[in-house]
Structure 1
Amino acid sequence: MTHQAQARIAATYIRGGTSKGVFFRLQDLPASCQQPGPARDALFMRVIGSPDPYSAHIDGMGGATSSTSKCVILSKSTQPDHDVDYLYGQVAIDKAFVDWSGNCGNLSTAAGAFAIHAGLVDTARIPDNGVCVVRIWQANIRKTIIAHVPVTNGQVQETGDFELDGVTFPAAEIVLEFIDPSDDGDDGGAMFPTGKLVDDLEVPGVGTFKATMISAGIPTVFVNAADIGYTGTELREAINSDPAALARFEAIRVAGALRMGLIKTPEEAATRQHTPKIAFVAPPADYTASSGKQIQAADIDLLVRALSMGKLHHAMMGTAAVAIGTAAAIPGTLVNLAAGGGERSAVRFGHPSGTLRVGAEAKQVDGQWKVTKAIMSRSARVLMEGWVRVPGDIL
Structure 2
Amino acid sequence: MASTPQIKIPATYMRGGTSKGVFFSLSDLPQVAQRPGQARDKILLRTIGSPDPYGAQIDGMGGATSSTSKTVILSKSEQPDHDVDYLFGQVSIDKAFVDWSGNCGNLTAAVGAFAINNGLVDADRIPENGIAVIRIWQKNIKKTIIANVPITSGQVQETGTFELDGVTFPAAEVEIEFMDPADGEGSMFPTGNLVDDLEVPGIGTLKATMINAGIPTIFVNAADIGYTGTELREAINSDPEKLAFFETLRAHGAIKMGLINSVEEAAARQHTPKIAFVAPATEYTSSSGKAVTKDDIDLCVRALSMGKLHHAMMGTAAVAIGTAAAIPGTLVNLAAGGGQRNSVRFGHPSGTLKVGAEAKQVDGEWTATKAIMSRSARRLMEGVIYIPGDCF
Do the two structures share a fold, i.e. TM-score over 0.5? yes
1:184 Cα deviation (Å)?
Answer: 4.0
Query: What's 2:18 paired with?
Result: 18
Query: What's 1:176 paired with?
Result: 176
1:112 Cα deviation (Å)?
Answer: 1.3
2:370 pairs, out of 368, 373, 381, with 373
1:287 Cα deviation (Å)?
Answer: 0.2
Describe how 1:256-295 pairs up with structure 2 within 5 A.
256-295=253-292
Query: What's 2:220 paired with?
Result: 223
Is residue 77 of structure 2 the alignment partner of residue 77 of structure 1? Answer: yes
Q: Distance in 2 between matches of 1:275 and 1:52?
A: 21
Q: Distance in 2 between matches of 1:344 and 1:245?
A: 33
Q: Distance in 2 between matches of 1:242 and 1:363?
A: 41
Q: Distance in 2 between matches of 1:358 and 1:154?
A: 29
Q: Which runs of 5+ in 1 are unaligned?
A: none
Which portions of structure 1, spanning 4 or more consecutive aligned residues, are displaced by more than 3 angstroms?
none
Query: What's 1:131 paired with?
Result: 131
Query: What's 1:324 paired with?
Result: 321
- TM (norm. structure 2) is 0.99
1:280 Cα deviation (Å)?
Answer: 0.1
What SS does the aligned partner of 1:379 have? strand
1:386 pairs, out of 367, 383, 387, with 383
Q: Distance in 2 between matches of 1:112 and 1:240?
A: 33
Deviations 1:51-106 (A, max 9, x none): 00110111100000000000000000010000000000000000001000000000
Instruction: Give 2:158's aligned amino acid.
Output: E
Q: Distance in 2 between matches of 1:297 and 1:207?
A: 31
Query: What's 1:90 paired with?
Result: 90
1:359 pairs, out of 352, 356, 359, with 356
Deviations 1:157-188 (A, max 9, x none): 00000000000000000000000001242xxx
Q: Distance in 1 between matches of 2:40 and 2:183?
A: 26
Q: CA RMSD in A?
A: 0.6
Q: Which runs of 5+ in 2 are unaligned?
A: none
Q: Distance in 1 between matches of 2:141 and 2:184?
A: 9
Q: Distance in 1 between matches of 2:242 and 2:197?
A: 20
Deviations 1:132-168 (A, max 9, x none): 0000000000000000000011110000000000000
- How high is the sequence identity, in percent, across the aligned residues? 76
Count of equivalent residues: 392
Contact 2:360 2:366 in 1 (8 A): yes
Query: What's 1:296 paired with?
Result: 293
Deviations 1:3-60 (A, max 9, x none): 1111000000000000000000000000010000000000000000000011011110
What SS does the aligned partner of 1:363 have? strand
Q: Distance in 2 between matches of 1:319 and 1:183?
A: 10
Q: Distance in 2 between matches of 1:116 and 1:176?
A: 16
Is residue 242 of structure 2 the alignment partner of residue 240 of structure 1? Answer: no
What SS does the aligned partner of 1:67 have? helix
Q: Distance in 1 between matches of 2:140 and 2:156?
A: 25
Query: What's 1:106 paired with?
Result: 106
Is residue 333 of structure 2 the alignment partner of residue 336 of structure 1? Answer: yes
Contact 2:194 2:210 in 1 (8 A): yes
Q: Distance in 2 between matches of 1:50 and 1:17?
A: 23
Instruction: Give 1:269's aligned amino acid.
Output: A
Is residue 308 of structure 2 the alignment partner of residue 306 of structure 1? Answer: no
Instruction: Give 1:359's aligned amino acid.
Output: G
Query: What's 1:348 paired with?
Result: 345
